[in-house]
Amino acid sequence: MPKKGSAEERDLVHKLWDRNFAAMRAPASGGATKRPLPDVVAGNGQIYLAIEVKTTIKDKLYIDSPQIDALMEFCEIFGASPYLGVKFKYTKWLFLPPDKIERTKKNNYKVEKNYALEHGFEIDEITGLDKQVKF
Protein backbone atom coordinates (compact mmCIF):
# COMPACT_ATOMS: atom_id res chain seq x y z
CA MET A 1 0.00 0.00 0.00
CA PRO A 2 2.94 2.43 -0.41
CA LYS A 3 1.24 4.20 -3.32
CA LYS A 4 -1.31 5.80 -1.03
CA GLY A 5 1.41 7.41 1.11
CA SER A 6 3.16 8.91 -1.88
CA ALA A 7 -0.17 10.19 -3.24
CA GLU A 8 -0.82 11.92 0.10
CA GLU A 9 2.68 13.40 0.04
CA ARG A 10 2.04 14.76 -3.48
CA ASP A 11 -1.28 16.22 -2.28
CA LEU A 12 0.54 18.04 0.53
CA VAL A 13 3.23 19.31 -1.85
CA HIS A 14 0.51 20.74 -4.15
CA LYS A 15 -1.19 22.45 -1.20
CA LEU A 16 2.12 24.05 -0.19
CA TRP A 17 2.77 25.28 -3.75
CA ASP A 18 -0.76 26.77 -3.75
CA ARG A 19 0.39 28.84 -0.74
CA ASN A 20 3.50 30.13 -2.59
CA PHE A 21 5.92 27.70 -0.96
CA ALA A 22 8.48 25.86 -3.05
CA ALA A 23 7.90 22.28 -1.95
CA MET A 24 9.16 18.83 -2.83
CA ARG A 25 9.00 15.25 -1.70
CA ALA A 26 12.36 13.98 -0.55
CA PRO A 27 13.08 11.15 -2.99
CA ALA A 28 15.10 9.09 -0.51
CA SER A 29 12.99 9.45 2.62
CA GLY A 30 11.65 6.40 4.40
CA GLY A 31 14.92 4.64 5.06
CA ALA A 32 16.26 4.52 1.50
CA THR A 33 19.32 6.40 2.73
CA LYS A 34 21.28 6.74 5.95
CA ARG A 35 20.80 10.50 5.80
CA PRO A 36 18.03 12.06 7.93
CA LEU A 37 15.54 13.14 5.28
CA PRO A 38 11.92 14.13 5.95
CA ASP A 39 9.13 13.25 3.53
CA VAL A 40 8.43 16.84 2.43
CA VAL A 41 10.59 19.97 2.47
CA ALA A 42 9.13 23.42 1.76
CA GLY A 43 10.07 27.06 2.06
CA ASN A 44 9.16 30.55 0.92
CA GLY A 45 12.32 32.48 1.80
CA GLN A 46 11.05 33.28 5.30
CA ILE A 47 9.54 30.07 6.63
CA TYR A 48 11.13 26.66 6.11
CA LEU A 49 9.25 23.46 6.88
CA ALA A 50 10.33 19.84 7.10
CA ILE A 51 7.43 17.42 7.38
CA GLU A 52 7.29 13.73 8.19
CA VAL A 53 4.02 12.54 6.62
CA LYS A 54 1.73 9.90 8.11
CA THR A 55 -1.72 8.87 6.93
CA THR A 56 -4.09 6.29 8.32
CA ILE A 57 -7.66 5.06 8.17
CA LYS A 58 -7.47 4.23 11.89
CA ASP A 59 -8.07 6.60 14.81
CA LYS A 60 -4.48 6.47 16.02
CA LEU A 61 -1.05 6.00 14.60
CA TYR A 62 2.37 5.17 15.96
CA ILE A 63 5.69 6.54 14.80
CA ASP A 64 9.06 4.99 15.60
CA SER A 65 11.28 7.46 17.43
CA PRO A 66 14.17 7.18 14.90
CA GLN A 67 11.89 8.81 12.28
CA ILE A 68 11.23 11.82 14.53
CA ASP A 69 14.90 11.91 15.60
CA ALA A 70 15.91 12.06 11.93
CA LEU A 71 13.38 14.85 11.30
CA MET A 72 14.81 16.84 14.21
CA GLU A 73 18.38 16.27 13.02
CA PHE A 74 17.53 17.42 9.50
CA CYS A 75 15.81 20.55 10.84
CA GLU A 76 18.76 21.42 13.04
CA ILE A 77 21.11 21.32 10.07
CA PHE A 78 18.73 22.88 7.51
CA GLY A 79 17.09 25.52 9.71
CA ALA A 80 13.53 24.31 9.16
CA SER A 81 10.62 23.95 11.55
CA PRO A 82 9.86 20.26 12.12
CA TYR A 83 6.31 18.95 11.84
CA LEU A 84 4.57 15.64 11.77
CA GLY A 85 1.91 16.02 9.08
CA VAL A 86 -0.99 13.68 9.81
CA LYS A 87 -4.06 12.93 7.78
CA PHE A 88 -6.68 10.68 9.29
CA LYS A 89 -9.52 9.42 7.13
CA TYR A 90 -12.11 12.21 6.62
CA THR A 91 -9.89 14.92 8.14
CA LYS A 92 -7.83 17.71 6.62
CA TRP A 93 -4.07 17.86 7.06
CA LEU A 94 -3.01 18.53 10.63
CA PHE A 95 0.52 19.36 11.77
CA LEU A 96 2.11 18.69 15.14
CA PRO A 97 5.54 19.82 16.29
CA PRO A 98 7.47 16.86 17.71
CA ASP A 99 7.45 18.25 21.25
CA LYS A 100 3.62 18.17 21.21
CA ILE A 101 3.38 14.49 20.28
CA GLU A 102 2.61 11.94 22.98
CA ARG A 103 5.36 9.44 23.83
CA THR A 104 4.66 5.76 24.44
CA LYS A 105 6.19 3.57 27.15
CA LYS A 106 8.66 2.30 24.55
CA ASN A 107 9.65 5.94 23.85
CA ASN A 108 8.08 5.98 20.41
CA TYR A 109 5.37 8.44 19.39
CA LYS A 110 1.59 8.12 19.28
CA VAL A 111 -1.00 10.44 17.74
CA GLU A 112 -4.71 9.94 18.30
CA LYS A 113 -7.19 11.50 15.89
CA ASN A 114 -9.02 13.54 18.56
CA TYR A 115 -5.73 14.87 19.95
CA ALA A 116 -4.60 15.92 16.46
CA LEU A 117 -7.93 17.62 15.78
CA GLU A 118 -7.67 19.53 19.04
CA HIS A 119 -3.96 20.38 19.11
CA GLY A 120 -2.75 20.17 15.53
CA PHE A 121 -2.06 23.21 13.38
CA GLU A 122 -3.73 23.64 10.01
CA ILE A 123 -1.71 24.26 6.86
CA ASP A 124 -2.42 28.01 6.82
CA GLU A 125 -1.11 28.23 10.37
CA ILE A 126 2.25 26.57 9.68
CA THR A 127 2.71 28.52 6.43
CA GLY A 128 2.08 31.85 8.15
CA LEU A 129 -1.07 32.62 6.16
CA ASP A 130 -2.95 32.62 9.45
CA LYS A 131 -1.01 35.31 11.30
CA GLN A 132 -2.24 34.15 14.72
CA VAL A 133 0.40 31.41 15.03
CA LYS A 134 3.75 32.47 16.46
CA PHE A 135 6.79 30.74 15.01
Cβ(92)–Cβ(76) below 8 Å = no
- Which residues in 102-116 are b (16+ Cβ under 10 Å) and which e? eeeeeebbebebebb
Q: Give me the catalytic one of 6, 29, 65, 81.
A: 29
Query: Which H/E stretch holds residue 22?
Result: strand 22-25
Cβ within 8 Å of residue 80, ≥6 positions away? 41, 43, 48, 49, 50, 74
Please say if 29 is a catalytic residue. yes
In angstroms, rounded to a whole number, what is the distance separating the alpha carbons of residues 23 and 106? 33
Q: Which residues are catalytic?
A: 29
